[in-house]
Amino acid sequence: MKPFDCIIVDDDEMDRLVVLSYAKRFSSLNIVGVFDSAEKALSFLEKNKIEVIFLDIEMPGASGLELRRKALEVPVCVFISSHSESAAETFELQTLDFIVKPFKFPRFEQMINRLEEFMEIRTKVDLFESSLGGDTVYVKTGHNQIKVKLHEILYLEALKNYTILVTETQRHCVLSNLGEILQEDKFNSFLRIHRSFAVQKQFIQKIGSQEIELRNNITIPIGRSFKGNLNFVI
């Protein structure tokens, strides 16, 4: 897969340099522009096509939210901001991830893994169909269908309009968003604990203030607005 053309938009010079230095560590990213304002970025986008925006929220002039609203044709937007209270609003603008400043490289690397997986999915749309039957999900792969047992799925992870079904040994993707899947009766054993994650109740080993632990030491973040869903085990 060829590198993804990206831009960085942040009015803080030090923050721009941090994102740029982290981004340069990944061969999958090709930084084609770095801007200190939304206006400059928009001017660039009028003449250039990119695939990823790393975007701050609070900036002089137009905000990052305003920029994203005018650039929804860009497939991937990652907000990087100290204003965590704006996270919910950003996800209404087709946001792949929200990173809270200050942050360190492992958090950026986690986001890149998510970004690469999402971009790979976009190039293989024909792989993603699912049909429900009995206690299984059938995931279409080309002309074949793979049977996935529901009781073996540890958690579900949202990737924009797709959902990843994660077992102990495999990751499968279906062309349905997480909300749609959780409305299916056969997924009533799953508990949504984050905008991007739902877990099987029986696999929860430990609940912390910010994350839960599943079997095999798998940790999943808890979204602030979803903490109430865990009251049944507290």
137-180 pLDDT, tens digit per residue, is: 777 665 667 788 888 899 999 887 788 889 888 888 887 888 88
Cβ atoms within 10 A of the Cβ of 111, count? 19
What number of other Cβ atoms are within 10 A of residue 11's Cβ?
Answer: 16
For tokens 């990751």, what's the residue? 171
> What residues contact residue 140 under an 8 Å CB cut-off, 6+ apart?
127, 128, 129, 130, 131, 146
Residue ranges per structural domain of the chain: 4-122, 125-233
- The C-alpha atoms of residue 153 and residue 133 are separated, in whole angstroms, by 15
Which pTM value belongs to this model? 0.61
Q: Which fold has domain 4-122?
A: Rossmann fold (3.40.50)
pLDDT-derived band at 46 (thresholds 50, 70, 90) equals very high
165, 159, 160: which is closest to 146 by C-alpha?
Answer: 165
Give the neighbor-by-neighbor strand order of the sheet with 171-174.
171-174, 162-166, 155-159, 197-200, 190-194
Q: Dig out the tokens for 120 from the structure.
A: 């790979």
Task: Give yes or no for a contact between 197 and 204, defined as CB atoms under 8 angstroms apart.
Answer: no
Average pLDDT over residues 16-42: 96
Torsion of CA 48, 53, 56, 62, to 10 degrees: 30
- Of 53-67, 73-87, 207-221, the range with the highest mean pLDDT is 53-67
Q: Strand ranges (DSSP E) for 41-161?
A: 52-55, 76-81, 97-100, 130-133, 136-141, 144-149, 155-159
The CATH code for residues 125-233 is 2.40.50.1020
Q: Using CA of residue 67, residue 72, residue 78, residue 83, what is the dihedral sign?
A: positive
Which range of 121-125, 164-168, 229-233 scores highest in mean pLDDT? It is 164-168
d(CA 182, CA 160): 15
Q: How many residues make up the chain in this entry?
A: 234
Q: What span, in angstroms and rounded, lies between the C-alpha atoms of 56 and 49? A: 20
Is residue 16's pLDDT more than 90?
A: yes
DSSP 11: S
